Structure 1
Amino acid sequence: MDELRKIDLNLLLALHALLSEQHVTRAAVRLHRSQPAVSHALAQLRRHFDDPLLVRHNGQMALTARAQALVKPLHDALGSLNGLLAAPRFEPTQTQRRFRLSLSDYASRIILPPLVRHLRQVAPGIDLAISQASRETMLAQLLDGELDLALGIFPELPHDICAQTLFEDSFISVADRRVLPATGGLALDDWLARPHVLMAMRPDAHDEIERALAAQGLRRRIALALPHWSAAVDVLEGTDLILTVARRAVGPMQPHKALRQFAPPLAIPALAYHQAWHARKNSDPGHRWLREAVWACSQPGN
């Protein structure tokens, strides 16, 4: 470190050009500097190394033994500095890395199949570790560094948590067709009178549907609360239960010929589904690449 303090980095760059070109004028062109400036740098370098470095031999400039000994370590040192200062690169075909994601089986059905196919094709060294948790737990895990990426509905985000909307989805109600009118759905009073299925990681969750009801001073009876999307659809047949969920969650679970979809009889704002991550991951090129892949694989048609 003491030796580094005695020399300007620009002098090392000039030395590299002089040793490579073995000619002051050509070194000046390479450095985009004037010839007098490079000649001045050479004079400083000669004083620093107490060696002429370049000497005239048979009408041409040649390296001294000391200069020849400097070529490789100087090349290696400048290469290391360049790698240190350059933006980190991410090569998906070459990387070996494990990412930790948390998402519901709703998102798993929509996003995971195209995402895994994409990873196996272009980044086979990337491994995924998938977990499932409530939105509050996912956000806490992001803050603690236990997760790389969380996929879910996040109406409010803590400081330092970033998010991107992957897609928006509307709500649909589903019930056994035998307990529905021959055509159409249910009036609001009849819809409220029925027992409902709540999709949530916690049975006391206050989801988007509950908030829409509360805004009108309404309540519904939750007869069954469970965290499993596929099971929520399967339990409907042969019962009077009503399930109201995101539309894209129901589509892949067909065919359920005994069931019928209908529009809920109250206005429920469309939900925005996000991927969220900690701000400390913003400049990580591998993490950025994964976020872009998740976004692409979440779009309709994938």
Structure 2
Amino acid sequence: MNTLRRIDLNLLVILDALLAERHVTRAAERLHLSQPAVSHALARLRELLDDPLLERVGSVLVPTPRALDLVEPLAEALAKVEALLTPDVFEPAVARRSFRLAMSDYGAALLLPNLVRDLRREAPGIDLVITQGSRDAVLDQLLNGEIDLAAGVFPNMPQELRSASLFEESFACLLDKSTLSSGGKLTLANYLARPHVGVGRGGGAVEVGQALTAIREHRRVAVALPHWSVAPQLIAGTDLILTVASRVLRQIRHPELAVVPVPFKVPAFSFVLVWHQRRDDEQALTWLRERIAENACAD
């Protein structure tokens, strides 16, 4: 390691050219350097490696045994350095890799159907692994490199993480049409008097609860669920009310169900995509972020 600190990598490039050309002037022309600069570099290399490297025999320079031993490993080392410093070119059509994404089933319902269709068409070698967890757990996974991306609601994030808003979201209520008043409206009094389905992990239970607390009211949650997917199936034929983010309700097509505004103010929120700042310039991940954003905007 101490020797490496003393070596300018440019010296190795010059040595590679000298061993190939076996001529100082031609090596200088090959590298677009002056002849004195190459001669000076050769002198430094001889000192560092404690070997003449190239010896003049008549009118030509002949590599020493030590120099000949260096030819192959030097070429391999320079190739590896060049590969390390050359940005990867990500080609979706031929790429083969796996991405790990964290999102609730709400986020999955909104983002995955179109995204997966796009991937199968444009990047069939890309695999997705979807996980779910609490907001704090997901942020820790991003910081630790356990996942590549997270989609969801993250009002407070560590400074090492980056985010991009996919869309602004608001809340709505889903209920059986037969339980609405003749005017088709849901009043605050009726809302508070009826039982509710509460959904955690991205379904809005926290935000709805906070909004009710702000007006000094509360609701009775008759069915508490950790995920969203089954919640709409519990509403038809009952007096239950489901209050969730409104975009996901657009997918519901049921003749007995109605989507109505929430009868009190629940602040809108931003649904974001989050990644670690150290991966800002990673081509593959940037491409995937763009595909997710395009599908979210198209919804």
Aligned AA (2:107)? A
For 1:15, the equivalent position in structure 2 comes to 15
Task: Mark the CA change 1:108 to 1:3 in structure 2 (over 3 Å): closer, same or farther.
Answer: closer
Correspondence for 1:121 = 121
Cα 1:140–1:52, aligned 2, differ >3 Å: closer, same or farther?
A: closer
How far has the Cα of 1:156 moved from its partner? Answer: 2.1
1:1-302 matches, cutoff 5 A: 8-45=8-45, 48-52=50-54, 64=63, 66=65, 70-87=70-87, 90-143=90-143, 145-158=145-158, 160-201=160-201, 207-253=206-252, 255-279=253-277, 281-282=279-280, 285-301=283-299
Secondary structure at the counterpart of residue 54 of structure 2 = coil
1:5, distance to aligned residue in structure 2 (A): 6.6
Q: Which amino acid aligns with 1:293?
A: R
State the shift of 1:112 in Å.
0.9
Question: Residue 202 of structure 1 contacts residue 227 of structure 1 at CA under 8 Å; is this kept in 2?
Answer: no
Structure 1: which amino acid aligns with 2:266? I
The DSSP-based 3-state class of the residue aligned with 1:218 is coil
Deviations 1:193-226 (A, max 9, x none): 22222121499x8511222222222222222222
TM-score between both structures, scaled by the size of structure 1: 0.80
1:111 deviation in Å? 0.9
**What is the DSSP-based 3-state SS (H/G/I as helix, E as strand, rest coil) of the residue aligned with 2:230?**
helix
Change (3 A) 1:86 1:55: farther
Q: How has the CA–CA distance of structure 1 residues 279 and 39 changed in structure 2, closer, same or farther, with 3 Å as cutoff? A: closer
Once the two structures are TM-superposed, the CA of residue 294 in structure 1 deviates from its matched residue by: 2.8
C-alpha distance 108-28 of structure 1, shift in aligned 2 (>3 A): same
Structure 1 residue 56 displacement after superposition: 6.3
Q: CA deviation at 1:81?
A: 2.3
Deviations 1:62-92 (A, max 9, x none): 7557566644332222112223344555554
Percent identity between matched residues is: 46
Cα distance, 1:43–1:224 mapped onto 2, change above 3 Å: closer
In 2, Cα distance between equivalents of 1:144 and 1:22 = 50
For residues 41 and 54 of structure 1, do their structure 2 counterparts lie closer, same or farther at Cα, with a shift above 3 Å needed?
A: farther
Alpha-carbon distance in 2 for matches of 1:99, 1:179 = 45
CA RMSD of the aligned region, Å? 3.4
Determine helix, strand or coil for the equivalent of 2:247: helix
Deviation at 1:263, TM superposition (A): 1.6
Structure 2 stretches of 5 or more lacking a match?
none
Q: Is the 8 A contact 2:54 2:64 kept in 1?
A: no
Amino acid at match of 1:50: P
What letter corresponds to residue 250 of structure 2 in structure 1?
G
How many Å apart are 1:118 and its aligned residue? 2.8
Please give the alpha-carbon distance, in whole angstroms, between the structure 1 residues aligned to 2:131 and 2:268: 25
Cα deviation 1:113-161 (Å, max 9, x = unaligned): 2222233334333322223333344334445554333322122224544
SS at 2:272's partner residue?
A: strand
Deviates more, 1:259-268 or 1:48-57: 48-57
Q: Which residue identity is paired with 1:261?
A: V
Q: Distance in 1 between matches of 2:244 and 2:232?
A: 10
Distance in 2 between residues matched to 1:141 and 1:72, nearest whole Å: 42
Give, in angstroms, the shift of residue 14 of structure 1: 1.6
In structure 1, how many angstroms separate the alpha carbons of the residues matched to 2:266 and 2:91? 43
Give 1:106 shift: 1.5
Q: Secondary structure at the match of 1:230?
A: coil
Per the alignment, do residues 56 and 240 of structure 1 end up closer, same or farther by CA in structure 2, a change over 3 Å counting? farther
Deviates more, 1:99-108 or 1:25-34: 25-34
8 Å contact kept, 1:198–1:222: yes
CA distance in 2, matches of 1:2, 1:210: 62
Aligned length: 296
Deviates more, 1:40-49 or 1:173-182: 40-49
Query: Is contact 1:201–1:226 with CA below 8 Å preserved after alignment?
Result: no
- State the Cα distance separating 1:266 from its structure 2 match: 1.8
